[in-house]
Structure 1
Amino acid sequence: MYLKKPLWSEAVKRTASPTAEDSDQSSPLTVVEDLVSSLTDQRVYREVTLALRTGLRDARAEFSFLRVRGLRGLLKFLRSVSESDSAIHLFSQSQSVPELQVVPVLFRHSLRDSEEDSVASLDHIFSVEPMKKTSPSTDAEVALALRVLEGCCLLHRESTILAHRHKAIPVLMNILSTRGVAEQDACLDALISIMLDSSANQMDFESCNGIEEVAELLRDKQVDENLRLKCGEFLLLLIGHVNGRDKSPMATIHEDVRRLLGEKSASLVWAASQFGSTLNPEQRLTALHIQARRVLESLDMY
């Protein structure tokens, strides 16, 4: 969604500032500015709904290549929305409309288990209606769907509730244990996004032994090194988020990490998880990479 500013909007901005006599609320310039603001909001909302309807239409398709096209459009749309607070607000409003909700479509089409497509009976053979068959999700489709899920949850916190209703944590843990490196990488980012400030999803992660799954990947030297680093970053972000919250659903995470990684590595994880809260986002990202590397090196030496 890339909007060009209308010419009449620029004309209003070029108008001379009002004098003291015209500064009251009923001045013609104020009325025009309010009208321009209202028209702009309506125009942006139409663009938001159009982008969502177009992307979701393809994301519901029977064929994977069409779903991939729809997911790419949705991901591009979310990246554009993230650049404007007003666009984020409009996107959040749109997610209260059932037919515009993104998260349910992801779990019903791209992130569903392939076993759900297995034929339960042969009744369709004797019926007039042909059986509707949907192509399975490709690796690229799953990775894209996870990125879209991450974006939705970061921009719209209520999307984490929708994800919980579709049993997001068990689905993502299955992807983490069965898919390739690209999907596992995207899965770890999506897991963080749906667990932030979501007790229900944190409880599901705990019940699915999520820490054990991530720690196993982190310890396995046969696993791709970049994925192991991503697992280290995941633990640092998760522990940094729940640290000090005794009533958190994951209050025992410190004991779990000590048991799974050993005392030395666990101590490093706990200390490193508090990396520079006063740093800007770019510096925090750099610090996160450095600390994850140190955790990985401590495991390899242990």
Structure 2
Amino acid sequence: MGNLAITSSIDQVRPDSKGDSKEMYLKKPLWSEAVKRTASPSADESNQTSPAMVVEDLVSFLTDQRVYREVTLALRTGIRDVRAEFSFLRVRGLRNLLKFLRTVSESDSTIQMFTQSQTVPELQVVPVLFRHSLKDSEEDSVASLDHIFSVEPMKINSPSTDAEVALALRVLEGCCLLHRESTILAHRQKAIPVLMNILSNRGVAEQDACLDALISIMLDSSANQMDFESCNGIEEVTDLIRDKQKDENLRLKCGEFLLLLIGQVNGRDKSPMATVHDDLRQLLGEKSASLIWAASQFGSTLDPEQRLTALHIQARRVLESIDMY
């Protein structure tokens, strides 16, 4: 499931072309290419360190330093906006973080730099998402009226809009796919209960993004899988897919989620979700559960694009089997 989940989900981490103009472009300086051309060692120099090779190493080092500065600047700017009091500023920050993640995903070297940046507490993205954009609005409810009689003004944050929640879920998904330790950060923020609440109470756009985010944070994460099991996550998803009044695309997304989830736990008797097959039999019936089990084994020899197509086709078959019985 790992490769398939990454292939199917990382495409969601794409910037809105109408988004804010603050975007991180990792452009190569013109002089670096010129130095590389002149620094190519000849056959006679291949066995010794030439001055040109020293210069090339220096150029490479300076380029890496420049890119890392851009990475940290993009993170600081995005995180600053996500911490803002007003939703429109948080949305701007989330869009910029999505653009940043899209840029980072294009290169192994920038992925490594992003991974390195997430060891610095003030640059960690996931905790900020849960403290601001993904927190329950009830947490901001006024518990007392003491602030009326105090000198200090009360700080009020505008509640998260639907667009903000959907963007925050996409950012969460991208962080977990690019940086596996982000799943640990998500677990510390009690991510699964928060996401299950969004899946139960939000609109279609947020539910769609929530299913992708759930897959990304449970990928090879026993702790998050255990939380999903304790929150009766399978029951929540099967309730959505069985409800014919729900949006069809959302039901198809639920089918894809089940296929990816079964593919993740398949053959792992010690998995926290080892009983998921029995749960599906009870919730969807023997025939639909067997179809999901068989369909989840597809695509191991296909290229990423073919696997996505196969995933959509199999999810459609799962939905048709559920509607039939």
TM-score (norm 1): 0.99
Displacement of 1:25 after TM fit? Answer: 4.4
2:207 aligns to what? 184
- 1:225-260 deviation per Cα after TM superposition (whole angstroms, max 9, x unaligned): 000000000000000011000000000000000100
Equivalent pairs counted in the alignment come to 302
2:317 aligns to what? 294
Q: Which runs of 4+ in 1 moved over 4 A?
A: none
1:90 aligns to what? 113
Identity %: 89
**Equivalent residue of 1:20, what SS?**
coil
Give the letter aligned to residue 196 of structure 2.
M
Corresponding position: 1:113 with 2:129: no
Structure 1: runs of 5 or more not aligned: none
1:171 aligns to what? 194
**Equivalent residue of 1:22, what SS?**
coil
2:221 aligns to what? 198
Q: 2:230 aligns with which of 207, 212, 218?
A: 207
Give the letter aligned to residue 64 of structure 1.
S
- Report matched runs for 1:224-235 at 5 Å: 224-235=247-258
Q: 1:249 aligns with which of 272, 288, 297?
A: 272
Distance (whole Å) between structure 2 residues aligned to residue 128 and residue 145 of structure 1: 34
Distance (whole Å) between structure 1 residues aligned to residue 37 and residue 144 of structure 2: 69
Distance (whole Å) between structure 1 residues aligned to residue 178 and residue 38 of structure 2: 35
Larger relative contact order (Cα-Cα within 8 Å, sequence gap ≥ 6): 2
1:23 aligns to what? 46
**Equivalent residue of 1:188, what SS?**
helix
- Report matched runs for 1:251-290 at 5 Å: 251-290=274-313
- 1:32-58 deviation per Cα after TM superposition (whole angstroms, max 9, x unaligned): 111011011101100100100111110
Displacement of 1:157 after TM fit? Answer: 0.3
Higher mean alpha-carbon deviation, 2-11 vs 235-244, is at 2-11
Distance (whole Å) between structure 2 residues aligned to residue 134 and residue 168 of structure 1: 21
2:83 aligns to what? 60
Distance (whole Å) between structure 2 residues aligned to residue 293 and residue 150 of structure 1: 24
- 1:246-289 deviation per Cα after TM superposition (whole angstroms, max 9, x unaligned): 00000000000010000010110000001121111110000000
Q: Is contact 2:86–2:157 with CA below 8 Å preserved after alignment?
A: yes
Aligned-pair Cα RMSD in Å: 0.9
- 1:99-135 deviation per Cα after TM superposition (whole angstroms, max 9, x unaligned): 1000000000000001100011111111100100000
Distance (whole Å) between structure 2 residues aligned to residue 3 and residue 270 of structure 1: 43
Distance (whole Å) between structure 1 residues aligned to residue 141 and residue 251 of structure 2: 34
Distance (whole Å) between structure 2 residues aligned to residue 276 and residue 181 of structure 1: 28
Distance (whole Å) between structure 2 residues aligned to residue 20 and residue 298 of structure 1: 66
2:263 aligns to what? 240
Corresponding position: 1:5 with 2:28: yes
Would the alpha carbon gap of residues 139 and 25 (structure 1) be closer, same or farther in structure 2, given more than 3 Å must change? farther
Q: 1:46 aligns with which of 69, 73, 92?
A: 69
Give the letter aligned to residue 113 of structure 1.
D
Structure 2: runs of 5 or more not aligned: 1-23
- 1:45-93 deviation per Cα after TM superposition (whole angstroms, max 9, x unaligned): 0010010011111000000000000000000100110000000000000
Displacement of 1:30 after TM fit? Answer: 1.2
